[in-house]
Chain A
Amino acid sequence: MIRLSRARLALVLGVLLAALFAVVLVALATGPARIAVGDVFDVVVRGAGSEATRDIVLGVRLPRIGLGLLVGAALATAGAVFQALLRNPLADPYVLGVSGGAALAGIAVLALGGIVALPTQSVPVAAFVGGIVATGLLYWVSGGRGGSGATGLLLTGVVFNAVASAGIVFLASIAGFFEGSRIFLWLIGQLSAVEIDAVGLVAASVAVGLVVACVLSRSLNLLALGDESAAQLGVPVEAHRRALLLATSLMVGAAVSVSGLIGFVGLIVPHALRLVIGSDHRLLVPATAITGAGFLVLSDTLARTLVDGRELPVGAVTALLGGPLFIVLLRRSQARSRLS
């Protein structure tokens, strides 16, 4: 019997962390000013290298990559948690409209900030609240039991996203955010506009979310079998679900408040990992966090370099990758529900 031994856990997470480190090095080396990966290694690991190189690598590129790591880990892990709780492999914070709710609340506070002075931290807090409200609505629509009715959930997400996008455009036009890339940030998601003041709060929120998801990962295995089965196997269903939803909304709110609507990360990463490492959430959740971080940094590096002299929003890259996968998964789940 294949089992989740300490050695297997360490091996999988170790390989993923090594790959993540390599991705970060390559991302740090990539940009308008070409820097050799070896030089980046010197700067990051040995603290050596010329001052100019250090400035570019640590001053310019590292903050954005750091943000990408946080956002990617948050979105991917949130996807894995939603999938288990809703018992639906199509769930993703963007597809479900949770990100949309967070973005709408975030931009509302930004717009309000043009009228009254608000601290920078109020944007992530508002996004968190928006994410919670959207999650609550989602549960309410799905009948409160997290049933596996895929169509209802997906329709709800589509409507949330349409309303959120309309609201974002409306608020942005009132507040005059159309200039530059700011509207892009909220509608399709990108990592360029780093608000340094907010990074601490974002990092803390993501950390809390990841810890809760990892600690309750055994419960996720059982909750994925349904509320009744989970309860019969000893899970305090309501308490654990509430903790997981709060933690997930916190992560998504934090991620959205600094990166906007980046879609499909939570769909792609857990799905790909499940094919390779299986479905046990005790391994899947931490692996998803690491892989999500690397996936988003890689996508952002692509977005920065794909078109010469131009930056694409990273959300466009993830949507181009995730959209087709979503269609394939949807078709498969429809075929399966016809069979059963």
Chain B
Amino acid sequence: MTQDAPRATGAGERLRFEAVSAARGGRLLLRGIDFTVEPGEIVGLAGRNGVGKTTLLQLASGVLAPVAGRVLLGERPVRSLSRRALARRIALVPQDLHVPFPFRAGELVMMGRSPHQSLVGLDGEADVARALEALARLGIEELADRSVETLSGGERQLVLFARALVQDPAILLLDEPTAFLDLKHRLEVLREVRRFAATGRGALVVSHDLTLAARVCDRLVLLGEGEVVAVGRPADVLTRENLHRAFAIDAQIGPGPDGRLVVLPMLAADDPTAGPGADPS
């Protein structure tokens, strides 16, 4: 795990939500959220659509102020840091990004270096090397000179992930980083998140794929109706009762072929979504 690990400049910082409440469009969306992302830890964030997962990431990246409570990076509220100081320590991979101009993918990745660069000036050799390294890690070097407009959703997601990696943060926030990805790239992204955490830095990952989340994350935060339904180890959080509270679904949870947790969501116990092809007999 430690071979060719990225330089961990910001290792050891803790992201903490303390009794955080947040509003969206005048409506209270999140109430009394309490949890911590410890250094070196991957925390998964799950919950149904519109429950406030992306809002939580906005609170963490300082672009949204909580109406109550505090979001702390180390001992300091994130909103008390300058934009630049915060951008050096927290990076976000958005679900998607609309880019109105034909920037090249390589240019978009280089933008991740901007919080480390002076206001005026070109990109240094070290910055370029950083970007190339990140592109190579994700196996997307050949995208570097393509216009972002011509990329598929999945390719754009990989480019945005590379951008966050070169930002060299202490905390990585990922908003459904694998939503548009094929199976191999999904695993590669998660491998890189693991590698990132192995350098003593924390990651907060929004995911709808609970099996994948259970596999990758050290702990899970399950959100429902603006509150935390459960926090803890995946095996403790992913119970039938918790999933019913969070998603209003039934689910079967058990060990998969490799002994790790597998979550099989169903609308009801007799699973009305299953077709005849699902029966192996």
Contacts and interface: CB of A to CB of B under 8 A. Distances in A.
Interface of A: 1-6, 9, 83-84, 87-89, 148, 214-216, 218-219, 221-222, 224-226, 228-229, 231-237, 274, 278-280, 282, 340
Contacts, number: 105
A1 B112 CA distance: 15
Contacts of B1: none
B114 A234 contact: yes
B63 A231 contact: yes
Given A3-B128, A9-B122, A231 B97 contact: no
B100 A89 contact: yes
10 contacts: A1-B106, A3-B110, A5-B122, A218-B119, A224-B99, A234-B114, A236-B83, A274-B101, A278-B104, A282-B122
B61 interface: yes
Given A1-B145, A232-B61, A232-B92, A225 B97 contact: yes
Contacts of A228: 58, 63
Given A218-B117, A231-B63, A1 B131 contact: yes
A280 B100 contact: no
Nearest to A6: B122
B7 interface: no
B194 interface: no
A213 to B, nearest CB: 12
Given A2-B104, A274-B102, A234 B92 contact: no
Contacts of A3: 106, 110, 123, 128
A214 to B, nearest CB: 8
Given A231-B63, A234-B86, A221 B111 contact: yes
Nearest to B94: A229
Contact of B107 (A83, A219, A279): A279
B91 interface: yes
B94 A279 contact: no
B135 interface: yes
